[in-house]
Amino acid sequence: MIPPVLAHATHRLDNATARRPSEITTTQINNRKPYFLHLKQSPDQAGAIRLACPVAGTFPTVNCSRRPRSRAPSRSVDLTDARQTGTHPAARPTVITPAAPGHSLPDICRQQSITIRPGDLGTIEKFRQDVAYLTDTWTSTFKVIRAQNEGINGILTGHHIDISEPKNRLAHGRVAQTLLVALMATITNLDDPRHVLPADPRRTPARHRLRQRHNERTGPAPTRADRPSPAPGATMICK
């Protein structure tokens, strides 16, 4: 069982604390990792995964009295060897085992591994995530996703095409509104130069393709060099 102080380290964190957690909160979040179940088998075609107890296997991350090691640890440890000091039982946290009958223990405590299928967690299924919350990996991943979301939100609600303005969405009905917003978002993506490869003429923005088609039918607009020179003695009038 994970200690309550670690389990509730991120409980009811406000937005400011979640963005810049304190040193104590960061330490508590990192100390959760040894208690995580180990991924034994990746998701299959049905989305089921196989998880192993953190005490089981060749490289356990915690100590537990329910599953004592079959071989006693070495009494001599080379303190200059990071591998030996990191894998020694004295360097691992110990799980506090509550006094409970065997039939009331979780399945992971009564067998080496368990299978989790989509929907097995019921109402808390939505809280599942591949990256642990507020860890270094989660922070680096979240920053990229948040920057992309904020960027596209700024473009979609900008002056060029504002999907938040009701005057730009005069269609009635939920289906019509959904289709209209989808078309507006598609047009925005087509006009975004980051999503276009300039070397490929087939992927140029929509407004550029329309201009190219117009020039093919009517010819390009005359330039200053193409204009005829004025007749001798004529007066140039600037409008």
In whole angstroms, give the CA distance from residue 164 to residue 167.
9
- What is the pLDDT tens value at each position of the chain, 239 positions in all? 788 999 999 988 888 888 889 999 999 999 999 999 999 999 999 999 999 999 988 889 999 888 877 666 777 777 787 777 777 888 899 988 777 666 678 888 888 899 999 888 888 888 888 888 899 899 899 888 888 888 888 888 887 788 888 888 888 888 988 998 898 888 887 876 665 555 555 555 555 565 666 566 666 555 555 555 555 554 444 44
In whole angstroms, give the CA distance from residue 33 to residue 189.
40
Question: Cα–Cα–Cα angle for 29, 36, 12, nearest 5°?
Answer: 40
In whole angstroms, give the CA distance from residue 168 to residue 202.
29
Contact yes or no for 129/142 (Cβ under 8 A): no
Domain regions of the chain by residue span: 4-126, 141-218
102 phi, psi to nearest 5 deg: -60, -35
